[in-house]
Amino acid sequence: MKSERFRASLESKEAKIVVVGLGYVGLPLAIALADEGFRVWGLDVCEDRVGAVSVGDWPLWSQELDLPAMLKRVVEDGYLDATTDYATCKDADVIIVCVPTPINEHKDPDYEALWDAITGIAEYARKALVIIESTLAPYTTEGVAQMLWPGVSLAHCPERVSPGALLYNLRHMPRIIGGYTAEAGELAAALYLQVIRDTELYITDCLTAEIGKAFENAYRDVQIALANELAKICQDLGADVWEVRELVNTCPGRNVLMPGPGVGGACLTKDTWLLVSALGEPAELLMTARAINEAMPVQAVDLVLEALRQAKIAPANATVTILAVAYRAGTSDVRGSPAIQVMTRLIKAGCDVRFYDPHVDGYNGDIVTALDEVDAAIIVTDHPEFAGLNWRNLGNLMRHRVLVDTRGVVREAPDGFVFKALGRGR
Ligand code: SAJ
């Protein structure tokens, strides 16, 4: 790839860009590049998604502030189009792969979508700069390089977006760019300079970028596990985790995260597994953190069962409302939500289950109906709407007044309720 010609094509906005994978990562990137004046093609195997994007309709669950209107505009103005056809990659200057890299039932990387994408682009990749944004296990970029042309211009620039703030993250998060060669790293940086605002790009090699991305989420998983461990300690010893946490955090350099009913989402639940899949020796601390976080939905359900017992209600006679379906506060994203595991376990215990979530279509009716004649409610996500709920009034709707809070949303036990809170032994 001729570096000068490539830089000139960025400068003149004449570079043809194909983004493979129109999900949470690829679609915002395609829109942002089109918004900068590039001619962008979004490629996806899902015909419905391609159909929606090509007429400017926002196809994702995630509620985003600016992106749906931007999508409409760039499609109407002819800067962004969508297709299922890999032949679109012909003459592309840049091909950016943003497909999911989940784990399978054995917790090993499931690269079906990645290998399909690489196979699809292979014959067109000779003249292009190829960038992989998908999170990868260490040494995967090397495998991608082997599948493409010798001397391919390749970089791994792991995504750092999160739902609810996709465009903001894309523009303002510092980015790590792993160049397969030094030149590929520089060229990828030149591309990202077109979309970022007031932030830094750090160029390194592919392995460092792969480990760095997986570890930043493994780090967060361990931090959350530590907060969950503190919740267990406080519950056992009769203290209040929310107060202890606040006091610990007054010590400089400490930042205890928030305990909760488990870790959801598409990133934290699998990135540790991607990282350790490349290791010969087990990474014990990371594995313990995963085990702690994966056990949290069980603890949440145990609190419900304990509260029902205290209220003398048999689980088989109980209807329980789960407050939230989304895994993340203030969003409609339900991927890997602990709410689903809480539901499964409550049903297994014999309970009937209802959901209410002000952010998720299909579950956002109204809280009055959601709590009408139920025996218990459990808060699993700290949506801002739940902070101001008047439980004294809501209790009048319920058949029995049983409330479980796993997020520190309800600070005082409401009058007349059997109330249990994660991490509060008093
Ligand atoms: N969680 C807790 N306690 C906390 C923080 C989170 O239990 O103190 C739980 C959440 O409830 C959720 C899960 O962990 O179930 C994940 O939460 P998250 O805030 O980390 O959100 P994600 O999964 O959307 O993470 C993304 C990640 N971004 C990418 O992988 C690109 C992560 O690296 C970011 O730190 C995070 O967003 C963020 O802070 O926005």
Q: How far is the CA of 152 from the centre of ligand 1 (A)?
A: 34
- Active-site hit among 267, 270, 351, 420: 267
3-state secondary structure of 151: coil
Task: Record the tokens describing residue 141, joined without a space.
Answer: 């970029």
Task: Record the tokens describing residue 263, joined without a space.
Answer: 């870790």
DSSP secondary-structure letter at 239?
Answer: -
- Is there an atom of ligand 1 within 6 Å of 162 CB? yes
DSSP secondary-structure letter at 40?
Answer: E
- Is there an atom of ligand 1 within 6 Å of 217 CB? yes
Q: Tens digits of per-residue pLDDT, 193-205?
A: 999 999 999 999 9
3-state secondary structure of 42: strand
Short-list 165, 63, 147, 86, CA closest to 111: 147
Q: Tens digits of per-residue pLDDT, 270-315?
A: 999 999 999 998 899 999 999 999 999 999 999 999 999 999 999 9
Decide if 345 contacts 369 (C-beta within 8 A): no
Decide if 38 contacts 194 (C-beta within 8 A): yes
351 catalytic? Reply is no
Separation in Å, CA 367 to CA 38, 187, 299, 410:
45, 52, 25, 16
267 catalytic? Reply is yes
Per-residue pLDDT at 363? 95
Q: Tell me how far apart the alpha carbons of residues 361 and 359 are, in angstroms, rounded to a whole number.
A: 7
- Is there an atom of ligand 1 within 6 Å of 230 CB? no
DSSP secondary-structure letter at 320?
Answer: E
- Please provide residue 335's backbone torsions phi and psi, each rounded to the nearest 5 degrees: -65, 125
Q: Tens digits of per-residue pLDDT, 347-388?
A: 999 999 999 999 999 999 999 999 999 999 999 999 999 998
130: amino acid identity, one letter: V
Q: How far is the CA of 327 from the centre of ligand 1 (A)?
A: 9
Per-residue pLDDT at 195? 97
Averaged pLDDT score across all residues of the chain: 96
The reported pTM is: 0.94
Q: Tell me how far apart the alpha carbons of residues 50 and 31 are, in angstroms, rounded to a whole number.
A: 14
Q: Which ligand 1 atom sits closest to the C-alpha of 216?
A: 33
